[in-house]
Amino acid sequence: MAAPILVTGASGAIGSRVVEQLRGRGRPVRCLVRRRPVANADELVRGDLGDGSTLDAAVQGAEVVLHLAAVTHARRSRDYVETNLIGTNRLLEAAARHGVRRFVHVSTRAVSEAGGAYSLSKHLAEHAVRESPVVHTIVRLPEVYGGAGAEGIDRIVSRARHGAAIPVVGDGADRLCPMHVDDAVAALAGAVAAPVASGRTYTLGGECLTTREFAEACARAFSSESRVRPVPVTAVAALGLLGRVLPLPIYPDQLARLRAEKPQVSPEAERELGFRARPLAEGLASLF
C-alpha cells in the first residue's frame, strides 16, 4: 500500500472535500483530528497541533503533509499565534524528523504583516515553512464560497439566498477574488501531486470584483430581494474593538484583514496545479 497523505483540518468544509478527492485519486489518507470524526479517511489519529507526541504518530510513515488546520477567527491574538504559527512549527519539526517528502501549507491571500493578528500569524507561518528543511508548497486561498459555512463570503451567499439585507463595509469597494470551494479543493489535491509545485508559492483566486459587486451577483443568482446595506467604516472599527470582549458577529482583526494589501493571483496556478477556477456566475448557479 502506498504511503499515506496526512491531512490536518480535515473536518472542515475544505478539508473533508480534500480527503474525498485524494481518496478518489487512489491515495490513502490519514487525518489528524481533535473532536469531529472525518468520513472516508483511511486512518484517524486523535490529537492536535499542541501535542508533539501526537504529531510524531501522525506524520510517521506519511509521504506528504497537507496542512489545513488553522484558527481563522479569534478574539485574542495569542490564539492565532498558538495554532497558526507555533502549531505549524511543531508539525514542521515532526515532518522533518520523520522524512516527510513534501509539506503542502495552506495559507491565505490575506497574508500580510499589516492585516491584523490572523494575517500576521499566517505571514510568519509561511516564513517558518520556507525555513524548514522539508520540501514545501504554499497555497494561498482567497475568499472561498460554497462550503455552506456561516462566516466570510458564505454569509453573504446565505443572506442572498434568504432575501436578507447584505451589509458591506463602507461603500463596498474592497476587492475580493472569490473561488468556489470545489475549485480550491482541486487545487490543493493538485499541489499534493504536482512535482513542479515543489518550492513554489501560489496565490489562488477567481474573478476579482468589489464586495458590493459580489453581493449584488449573489442576489441576482438567487433572484432574491436582498439589498446591499452600507455600514460606516467607523462603526465597523468600533464594533471590532468591542469584539475583543463581547461575542459580537465581528472580530477585532476583520477590518484590517479586509483592507490589507494582498498579493496578485498567480496566473500559472491553474496550469501547474491542474484545476480550473470557474466563473462566478457558474459557481453561484451550482449552489441551487
Give 156-224 as a 3 state SS string: HHHHHHCCCCEEEECCCCCEECCEEHHHHHHHHHHHHHCHHHCCCEEECCCCCEEHHHHHHHHHHHCCC
* Section 72-91 average pLDDT: 97
Residue 54: give the domain boundaries.
5-285
- To 10 degrees, the CA torsion angle through 183, 34, 121, 7? -40
Share of the chain above pLDDT 70, in %: 100
Amino acid, single-letter form, for residue 107: S
85: which DSSP letter? I
Distance CA 63, CA 228 (A): 47
Quick check: 1 pLDDT over 70? no
| d(C-alpha 198, C-alpha 102), whole Å | 8
Q: Whole-angstrom Cα distance, residue 38 to residue 17?
A: 10
Cell triple for 140 = 494561498
Predicted confidence (pLDDT) at residue 44 exceeds the cutoff of 70: yes
**How many Å apart are CA 116 and CA 51, to the nearest integer?**
27
Read off the CATH number of the domain in which 266 is found. 3.40.50.720
Instruction: Convert the pLDDT of each residue in 175-231 to its tens digit.
Output: 999 999 999 999 999 999 999 999 999 999 999 999 999 999 999 999 999 999 999
Number of domains into which the chain is organized: 1
Asked whether the beta carbons of 168 and 229 are under 8 A apart, the reply is: yes
* Predicted TM-score (pTM) of this structure: 0.96
Measured from the Cβ of residue 110, the count of other Cβ atoms closer than 10 Å reads 25
Structure confidence by residue, pLDDT tens digits, 159-172: 999 999 999 999 99
- A 10 A CB-CB count for 199 gives 11
